[in-house]
Structure 1
Amino acid sequence: MVGDHNWVVKYYPNGNDKPGYISVYLVLDSSGDEGVKAKVTFSILDKGGEPVPSYIKVAPEHVFPFSGSDWGFGDFIKHEDLEGSVHLGGDSFRIKCDVAVKKIRSEETHANQFVVVPPSNLHRQLGDLLKSKDGADVAFRVGGKIFSAHRSVLAARSPVFKAELFGAMREKSGDPIEIDDIEADVFKSLLHFIYTDSLPETTHEGTDEGATQEDIATAGHLLVAADRYDIARLKLICEEILCNHIDSSMVATSLVLAEQHNYHGLKEACFEFLASPSNLEAMIASDGYQHLKTSCPSLLRELIARLLPVELTAAKDIIRDI
């Protein structure tokens, strides 16, 4: 029960009117109720019970006119996307449904039919501000390129930028701030996310469609940049992209990245991928394997111990201690 109303969720594993998709709908299930305004959010949960950013769908606010009326998504997620996701375990997955309710009077229902409130376009306006450079008061030199930005926006989005731009670490001169360990394209994507809370259109956020090896590599670099500037949501989005695009050629590199920066979700996804003997053999033959051996030998020992049968507990302990 939410807002003194009963609700149920309709789930169509083969789609309601969208073949190839899973459909989900929220249904008002309180007899006699009418004119109930509600906003519903459906999200797929990861193994830790947290919503996966790339699989969150928010439906526009809707008036449920009577009991039995529904509202939701006929195209919640494609079958192929779900089947290839690390969040599908043992042929099962979890969906969370968040409902926010506001009961309205019948006269309000009638009046609201003549008023259409558009969705927020703040992200577009801030994106335009970044592009126009209007009022920019800080500049960065990255890979020979100059990027202009606004101190207040950066500080509001990143505690690291806040310390660098307004704290004791702030730059005293008006010269561009030099950043040497981030590529220019990665820094450009970082700024885009800071202003718009989304990745550039060239990066396929959390999807399996159309992502190139370059997109995936960029997500790895952007993950490190997000970690450096402590932008939590961007870190999760990039980590999710890498989790959804693990293959034999890149899994060793992803494992090193996960170990060196403590990305637990990515590490577990790589271990799950390498549980397949064929994937493990292909990883050993990849270019990244030697780097994994030399940079993270303890991680290899942990992997071997994880792959041993459960009954060989003593052997696992010995391997971890080597």
Structure 2
Amino acid sequence: MKTTEFETSKFLYDDFFTVKLHLIVVEPFFVDATRKQIIVPLSDLRRDFGGLLESGEGADVTFKIDEEAFSAHRYVLAARSPVFKVQLLGSMMESKMDTIFIEDMRADVFKIMLQFIYTDMLPSEVEVSIEIAQHLLVAANRYGLERLRLICEKKLCDSLDVESAATTLVLAKQHNCGQRKDICIDFVASRDVLDGIMETDGFKHLMSSTPVLLKEILDKLKSWWKI
């Protein structure tokens, strides 16, 4: 439109004009990162491997303890435990066996250990008592499960009391748990609990099985008396 035509048109009023637009808004080609984000779900690895153990699908080895049987997968166990790796994939007789008998271990403890191997955590539906933690520590040490061993150590140290202290100390000595042994000796040598600990069956077992610990307790008492 020419300027002269525009100036004489009905759309111009007092040197102003209005433009009316009709807009159609479509989905933009970009995403505003402050408003929309891609949500990454938590890892399903524990759930998937836990389900694999529970279903027994593809299991190629069975462990028997007393009257109970547990199906498992050789390569999963070998990947998690250096002891199982030698036992199940090495030259040992068990590598050729479909059924392996486990001795000197409770069935409920072995079941919890298996669940830990597959999921890297203790089962939430099981209450891990002091007694179970003691047995699990022995099992973890037996199969080279360092993380499980440390979890059990922490559980036992956090739960130290007069009744369990001496037994926990003996376990720490027998399984080379240096840090836990030091914590137990500090607890046992405390002036306000030592008399009570000495009356327990655990302390009697300590004196008969590992009398060397008595010297360590006395050395700790001497060091505190000097202070």
TM-score (norm 1): 0.58
Equivalent of residue 185 in structure 2, options 271, 292, 304: 271
Matched, 1:291 2:210: no
Whichever of the two has the greater Rg, that structure is: 2
Supply the distance in 1 between the matched residues of 2:34 and 2:82 (Cα, whole angstroms).
44
Specify the SS of the correspondent of 1:308. helix
Mapped contact 2:79–2:85 kept (Cα < 8 A) = yes
Name the TM-score, length of structure 2 as normaliser.
Answer: 0.81
For 1:281, the equivalent position in structure 2 comes to 195
Contact residue 163 and residue 170 of structure 1 kept, 8 A = no
Return the offset for 1:161: 0.2
Match of 2:41 in 1: 118
For the aligned residues, what is the CA RMSD? 2.1
Alignment-derived partner of residue 224 in structure 1: 138
What's the offset of the Cα at 1:113?
2.7
Higher strand share: 1
Q: In structure 1, what is the Cα distance between the partners aligned to 2:82 and 2:165? A: 31
| Structural mapping, 1:93-108, within 5 Å | none
Provide the secondary structure at the position in 1 that maps to 2:63. Answer: strand
Structure 2 vs 1, CA of residues 182 and 233 (structure 1 numbering), >3 Å: closer, same or farther?
Answer: same
Counterpart among 167, 187, 202 of residue 253 in structure 1: 167
Aligned equivalent of 1:192: 115
Distance in 2 (CA, whole Å) between partners of 1:167 and 1:147 is: 21
The structure 1 segments of at least 4 consecutive aligned residues displaced by more than 6 Å after TM superposition are none
Give unmatched runs, 5+ long, in structure 2. Answer: 1-29
Q: In percent, how many aligned pairs have the same letter?
A: 48
Counterpart Cα distance in 1 of 2:35 and 2:113:
39
Q: Does 1:233 align with 2:147?
A: yes
Shift of 1:309: 3.7
Q: Please state how far the C-alpha of 1:304 moved relative to its aligned partner.
A: 0.7
Secondary structure of 2:33's counterpart equals helix
**Structure 1 residue runs without a partner (length 5+):** 1-106, 205-210, 313-322
Show CA shifts across 1:226-262 (max 9, x none): 1111011111111110010000001110011011111
- Mapped to 1, the partners of 2:126 and 2:183 lie a distance apart of 21
Q: Which residue of 2 aligns with 1:131?
A: 54
Deviation at 1:143, TM superposition (A): 2.5
Question: Cα 1:249–1:109, aligned 2, differ >3 Å: closer, same or farther?
Answer: farther
Cα shift at 1:273: 1.3
Asked if 1:300 corresponds to 2:223, the answer is: no
Distance 1:135 1:292, change over 3 A: same
Picking from 77, 86, 102, the partner of 1:163 is 86
8 Å contact kept, 2:61–2:71: yes
- Structure 1 residues 173 and 152: alpha-carbon distance in aligned structure 2, compared to 1, 3 A threshold: closer
Alignment CA distance shift 1:280-1:116 (3 Å): same
